[in-house]
Structure 1
Amino acid sequence: MKIVAKGFTLIELVVVIIVLGILAVIAAPRFISLSQDAHDASIKSAFGSFTSAVKLYHSCWLTSGKSGYQVDLACYGDGTLDSSVTGYPLGTDTSASKGGTVLQGEYCKEIWQGLLDNDEYTLVSHFGDPFVKGNDIVYWFAGSQLSSSSTYCYYNYIADNLVEGSENWQLKYYPGTGKTEVGKGVLTITP
């Protein structure tokens, strides 16, 4: 009895390689976008937690029976977060805030850290060269007087794309009103 060796022909192997190549071209972008989806979900969750914490802080301020600017509001977190004159989080060392009416850049970092109480993200100031590996969120502020509707802290999530001028997730927080806005924004650093 003669044994016949079975195997793949060259044509069959080429066809299989072509089919695998086509599948890779179609499937690869979907797998690559899973990484972006994970970044999006993570930062949206953090921004949502920030928004909830602002509301909780303001509720604490309201139920404390106090009014106006408060230093070290004891009923929220570790009790070191000061309020704006309208009862929203302003920072932990706000002695230069003119009675809770003026926003400064470092306050924005203090607000984030005081409300979220975690070290999951590395926050860096808008100044210098923030677009380096290991930095997650660039923060700073616009305006200064809390009575102005254009005064806010901003937090740009850059961990998923460290290229300056690229569109990324951004949170704007208005400590005069407690309003938060989450959306896509472009961050550029001007010298």
Structure 2
Amino acid sequence: MSNEAAKDDIVLRPSVRSTTDSGFTLVELVIMIVILGILSVVAAPKFINLKSDAHRSVLHGMKGAVSSANQLVYSKASLQGKERQAVADVQLGADIGSAVLTYGHIPSALPMALKGSTSNQDSVDSGTKVYASITQILALDAEHLKDESSVVTRQWGIFIHGTDRFVNFVPRGFSVDSGCHLQYSGINAEGDAVIFELIDSGC
């Protein structure tokens, strides 16, 4: 092959090197890392707050459910003339059965003086009856918590403070000690009012 033919071959041969190299430079990568870091710092608290707000909403939902249920059971107790009784077994309906109420409301405790005994066994029995009434009236998938450090594995946990006469409704994944629960005090004496307290510092 002559020198001229070799030159023509060189001129006509396309360039092997591409002019459109892809990829990021070191400066571009550093800028992207800085932007992602800023976004994560700004966005992370928002997601954490959303989770806490969701837990608080669940507690508010339980408060609404207990309030509505109290109105319904009070009307049932009134129809049966038992709304003024300190402890009464009230028929709620053929498909529901009966439940123990205090002054026509969902109980948070059964007054021991009315039971005629202050023994430890009666206290346990009282807590069991309160738990049974709550779960039956509210149709809850709940577990009876034995202490304040027990973590709830079902939809709800119910911890009954018999001597203090209030009940804690604890959502799944928390314990009473976690500080994310609804505290309910029913009517334990004539003239009392139902009291709700939202404990949400640990939500």
> TM-score, with normalisation over the residues of structure 2?
0.66
C-alpha separation in 2, matches of 1:15 and 1:180: 55
Within-5 A mapping of 1:10-159:
10-66=26-82, 68=85, 69-75=87-93, 78-84=96-102, 86-90=103-107, 98=115, 104-119=126-141, 121-126=142-147, 130-132=149-151, 134=153, 136-143=156-163, 152-157=165-170, 159=172
Q: Is the 8 A contact 1:57 1:88 kept in 2?
A: yes
Q: Relative to structure 1, is the Cα distance of residues 158 and 166 closer, same or farther in structure 2, using a 3 angstrom cutoff?
A: same
Q: Relative to structure 1, is the Cα distance of residues 56 and 76 closer, same or farther in structure 2, using a 3 angstrom cutoff?
A: farther
C-alpha separation in 1, matches of 2:94 and 2:197: 24
Q: Is the 8 A contact 2:73 2:92 kept in 1?
A: no
1:180 aligned residue: 195
Give the % identical residues: 23
C-alpha separation in 2, matches of 1:24 and 1:156: 34
1:189 aligned residue: none
2:157 partner letter: I
Q: Name the larger-Rg structure.
A: 2
Work out which structure has the larger RCO, using CA pairs closer than 8 Å and 6 or more positions apart in sequence: 2
1:167 aligned residue: 179
C-alpha separation in 2, matches of 1:180 and 1:125: 23
C-alpha separation in 1, matches of 2:81 and 2:171: 40
Q: Relative to structure 1, is the Cα distance of residues 107 and 178 closer, same or farther in structure 2, using a 3 angstrom cutoff?
A: farther
- The structure carrying a bigger helix percent of its residues is 2
Q: Is the 8 A contact 1:137 1:156 kept in 2?
A: yes
RMSD of Structure 2 on Structure 1 (CA):
3.7
The Cα shift of 1:80 comes to 1.6
The Cα shift of 1:44 comes to 1.9
> TM-score, with normalisation over the residues of structure 1?
0.69
1:33-73 deviation digits (Å, cap 9, x = unpaired) = 32222222122212220121112111221133445343242
C-alpha separation in 2, matches of 1:81 and 1:36: 34
Mark the runs of 5 or more structure 2 residues left unpaired by the alignment.
1-13, 117-121
